[in-house]
Protein backbone atom coordinates (compact mmCIF):
# COMPACT_ATOMS: atom_id res chain seq x y z
CA UNK A 1 0.00 0.00 0.00
CA UNK A 2 0.98 3.59 -0.58
CA UNK A 3 -0.26 6.70 1.25
CA UNK A 4 -0.75 10.38 0.39
CA UNK A 5 -0.42 13.50 2.52
CA UNK A 6 -4.21 13.84 2.10
CA UNK A 7 -4.59 10.61 4.15
CA UNK A 8 -5.61 8.40 1.25
CA UNK A 9 -4.39 4.86 0.81
CA UNK A 10 -3.76 3.19 -2.53
CA UNK A 11 -3.49 -0.52 -3.24
CA UNK A 12 -2.41 -1.82 -6.62
CA UNK A 13 -4.19 -5.00 -7.65
CA UNK A 14 -2.43 -7.59 -9.80
CA UNK A 15 -4.23 -6.30 -12.91
CA UNK A 16 -2.86 -2.76 -12.45
CA UNK A 17 -6.11 -1.36 -11.07
CA UNK A 18 -5.60 1.01 -8.13
CA UNK A 19 -8.05 0.82 -5.21
CA UNK A 20 -8.39 4.10 -3.25
CA UNK A 21 -9.72 4.79 0.24
CA UNK A 22 -8.98 6.93 3.27
CA UNK A 23 -6.82 5.89 6.19
CA UNK A 24 -7.98 4.93 9.64
CA UNK A 25 -6.35 8.16 10.89
CA UNK A 26 -8.50 10.23 8.48
CA UNK A 27 -11.68 8.35 9.41
CA UNK A 28 -10.99 8.95 13.10
CA UNK A 29 -10.32 12.66 12.54
CA UNK A 30 -13.53 13.08 10.53
CA UNK A 31 -15.79 11.36 13.03
CA UNK A 32 -18.96 9.54 12.05
CA UNK A 33 -19.63 9.77 8.32
CA UNK A 34 -23.23 10.56 7.37
CA UNK A 35 -23.01 11.15 3.60
CA UNK A 36 -20.85 10.02 0.67
CA UNK A 37 -21.14 11.26 -2.92
CA UNK A 38 -19.17 9.18 -5.40
CA UNK A 39 -18.10 9.99 -8.97
CA UNK A 40 -19.54 8.29 -12.02
CA UNK A 41 -17.61 5.29 -13.36
CA UNK A 42 -15.64 6.02 -16.55
CA UNK A 43 -14.73 9.49 -15.23
CA UNK A 44 -11.34 10.77 -16.38
CA UNK A 45 -9.49 12.48 -13.51
CA UNK A 46 -6.27 14.38 -13.04
CA UNK A 47 -4.20 14.26 -9.85
CA UNK A 48 -5.76 16.48 -7.16
CA UNK A 49 -9.19 16.71 -8.84
CA UNK A 50 -12.00 16.60 -6.28
CA UNK A 51 -13.72 13.27 -6.92
CA UNK A 52 -15.59 12.26 -3.77
CA UNK A 53 -17.55 14.38 -1.31
CA UNK A 54 -17.89 13.11 2.24
CA UNK A 55 -19.73 14.64 5.16
CA UNK A 56 -19.32 13.72 8.78
CA UNK A 57 -20.89 15.00 11.95
CA UNK A 58 -17.86 17.34 12.20
CA UNK A 59 -17.20 18.58 8.64
CA UNK A 60 -17.52 18.15 4.90
CA UNK A 61 -14.43 17.11 2.95
CA UNK A 62 -13.35 16.21 -0.53
CA UNK A 63 -11.37 13.16 -1.52
CA UNK A 64 -8.89 14.08 -4.24
CA UNK A 65 -7.73 11.95 -7.13
CA UNK A 66 -4.33 10.67 -5.99
CA UNK A 67 -3.12 10.29 -9.58
CA UNK A 68 -4.15 10.75 -13.21
CA UNK A 69 -6.39 8.10 -14.71
CA UNK A 70 -9.91 6.76 -15.20
CA UNK A 71 -12.27 5.79 -12.40
CA UNK A 72 -13.69 2.42 -13.40
CA UNK A 73 -15.71 1.40 -10.34
CA UNK A 74 -17.17 3.01 -7.22
CA UNK A 75 -18.17 1.44 -3.91
CA UNK A 76 -21.96 1.92 -3.94
CA UNK A 77 -22.18 0.33 -0.47
CA UNK A 78 -20.86 3.61 0.97
CA UNK A 79 -23.79 5.59 -0.41
CA UNK A 80 -26.24 3.40 1.53
CA UNK A 81 -23.98 3.00 4.58
CA UNK A 82 -21.44 5.86 5.01
CA UNK A 83 -20.62 4.55 8.49
CA UNK A 84 -18.77 1.67 6.82
CA UNK A 85 -15.88 4.12 6.40
CA UNK A 86 -15.61 4.40 10.18
CA UNK A 87 -15.97 0.65 10.65
CA UNK A 88 -13.44 -0.60 8.05
CA UNK A 89 -11.62 2.33 6.38
CA UNK A 90 -8.68 0.25 5.18
CA UNK A 91 -10.76 -2.64 3.82
CA UNK A 92 -14.40 -2.82 2.74
CA UNK A 93 -14.80 0.97 2.73
CA UNK A 94 -12.73 1.73 -0.37
CA UNK A 95 -14.12 4.65 -2.38
CA UNK A 96 -13.18 3.92 -5.99
CA UNK A 97 -11.02 1.90 -8.32
CA UNK A 98 -9.06 3.50 -11.10
CA UNK A 99 -6.78 2.68 -13.99
CA UNK A 100 -3.82 5.06 -13.78
CA UNK A 101 -2.50 6.80 -16.89
CA UNK A 102 0.96 6.86 -15.31
CA UNK A 103 1.45 4.16 -12.64
CA UNK A 104 4.85 5.63 -11.77
CA UNK A 105 3.01 8.45 -9.93
CA UNK A 106 2.74 5.98 -7.04
CA UNK A 107 6.53 5.96 -6.69
CA UNK A 108 6.43 9.40 -5.03
CA UNK A 109 3.92 8.34 -2.37
CA UNK A 110 4.67 7.24 1.19
CA UNK A 111 4.98 3.65 2.29
CA UNK A 112 3.43 2.54 5.61
CA UNK A 113 6.48 3.51 7.69
CA UNK A 114 6.74 6.98 6.14
CA UNK A 115 3.00 7.55 6.64
CA UNK A 116 3.23 6.50 10.30
CA UNK A 117 5.96 9.11 10.78
CA UNK A 118 3.91 11.68 8.86
CA UNK A 119 0.93 11.38 11.20
CA UNK A 120 3.22 11.30 14.23
Q: Return the H-helix or E-strand segment holding 73.
A: strand 69-74
Look up the CATH number of domain 2-102. Answer: 2.40.50.100
Kindly report, residue by residue over 69-107, the tens digit of the pLDDT: 999 999 999 999 999 999 999 999 999 999 999 999 999
Q: How far is residue 108 CA from its own chain's centroid?
A: 16
**Residues 22-79 pLDDT 10s:** 999 999 999 999 999 999 999 999 999 999 999 999 889 999 999 999 999 999 999 9
Q: Which residues contact 69 (CB under 8 A, 6 or more apart)?
A: 18, 44, 45, 98, 99, 100, 101, 102
Domain locations in the chain as residue ranges = 2-102
Check: CB of residue 32 under 8 Å from CB of residue 57. yes
Amino acid sequence: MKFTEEHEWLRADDDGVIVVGITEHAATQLGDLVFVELPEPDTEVAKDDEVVVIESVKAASDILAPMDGTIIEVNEALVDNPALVNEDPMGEAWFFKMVPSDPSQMDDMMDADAYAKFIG
